[in-house]
Amino acid sequence: MIVNYNDKKLKFPDFLIVGAARSGTTYLYSVLSGHSQVFMPAEKEPQFFCDYGKLGRKTIADGKIVKNWQNYNIDQYSTLFQRAKREQIWGEASVDYLYEYQITIDNIKKIYQKDAEKLKIIIILRNPVDRIWSHYLFHYTKNSDILSFSKAIRSEVIGLRLEAGLISNFDYVGYGLYADKVKAWQENFPHIRIWIYEEFFNDLERYMLELTNFLSIETDDRLIVSKKVNSSGVAKHKVAQFFIDRLQKPEGWKKPIKQVLPQRLRQRLKRQATQKLLQHHDMDPILRRQLLDFYRDDIKKLEGILNRDLDIWLKSNNPDHIRGHV
């Protein structure tokens, strides 16, 4: 939609996929990007609404804290949608919007003003125990976290990392505490859909129909894709890890490719290559039970907010059998 802010007419999203992280948002971004009636920027995770007004972000590479990227200003963010056609619906996907819900919602209302009530919000939630494991493996595989899982989820470790200015993405535990976050989004936006990951990917035909109806776009069977989009796991062997590292790091040999291939295609090829080098790895069952006990109260609170049971999570003691759509 066109948003009027500070005497400027800016192109801004009609809908946002706000999370949760490692819960199918890349899948939704990928399939919607291919729909003729939808425009999605080439970059997933611009994180504009939670980063607006902040300094640059920091992350971990090879065990060291490094500067990650500069945040978008409002004009730069609007240019992400400069190629969007008027007849399309415009959207973007940034999972930090769910985690950093307070500042995100405040910035949306500040910029959109009265148009904020028109914005459509999409949330997809995954069993928090499966989600936290996938989240950690995502960083571990990229060599952006060299700590063991049991250490990386300690509250003191997470606290120190956030104090050091790291992106919130390293709060593995906090990303799975959904209740207060979902409640805030529900209370502030009238057009919202919340789906459960395990149900969504067990009945893609049904839920993709719900999605297209929600966005008021035509149903397209090509949206129902069962292939993996952004899988997690560990490297099959040392050689596989070597190639994964080369894919993730900015290196000279990539420059000619960047000049020839568009960003979205490069991202897809990198994901596909990485998937072939990974193998599934389950969490320790004792730690899994401990984490489920930790999340139990928040899950019960979420049940009241969603007005439904979440036995699909509470009775799950085995690793999630739905893999790959993260």
* Residue 145 lies inside a defined structural domain of this protein: yes
Q: By residue range, what is the domain housing residue 92? A: 2-233+285-314
Burial class (CB in 10 A: 0-12, 13-18, 19+), 22: buried
Q: Which of 173-182, 212-221, 257-266 has the lowest mean pLDDT?
A: 257-266
For residues 229 and 244, state if they share a domain. Answer: no
Does residue 322 lie in a domain region? no
Q: Is residue 245 part of a domain?
A: yes
Q: Specify whether 126 is located in the same domain as 242.
A: no
Instruction: In whole angstroms, give the CA distance from residue 225 to residue 208.
Output: 10
Please give the structure tokens belonging to residue 79: 């240019």
Q: Which two tokens stand for residue 243?
A: 């190639």
| Number of domains the chain contains | 2
Query: Can you read off the two tokens belonging to residue 207?
Result: 């839920």
Which amino acid, one-letter code, is at 128?
P
- Whether 54 and 197 map to the same domain: the answer is yes
Top pLDDT among 70 and 280 is at 70
Average pLDDT, the chain: 85
pLDDT surpasses 70 at 196: yes
Indicate whether 189 and 259 sit together in one domain.
no
Residues 76 and 154 in one domain: yes
Query: How do residues 40-55 score in pLDDT, each as one tens digit?
Result: 999 899 999 999 988 7
Specify if 324 maps to a domain: no
Residues 223-279 pLDDT 10s: 777 655 555 555 555 554 544 455 555 555 555 665 566 655 655 565 565 566 555
Per-residue burial over 72-110, b = 16 or more CB atoms within 10 Å of its CB, e = otherwise: bebeebbebbeebeeebbbbbbbbbbbbbbebbbebbbe
* Cβ atoms of 59 and 66 closer than 8 Å: yes
Would you say how long the chain is, in residues?
326
CB 314 within 8 A of CB 296: yes
Give residue 167's pLDDT: 84
Instruction: Taking residues 55-62, report their average pLDDT.
Output: 73
CATH of the domain at 64: 3.40.50.300
The pLDDT of residue 82 is 95
Question: Which residues are within 8 A (CB) of 147 and not within 5 positions of it... i.e. 6 or more apart?
Answer: 157
Q: How far apart are CA 138 and CA 305, in angstroms?
A: 29
Q: Which residue has the tokens 């007004």?
A: 53
Ranking 50-54, 99-103, 133-137 by mean pLDDT, the lowest is 50-54
Answer yes or no: do 117 and 251 share one domain.
no
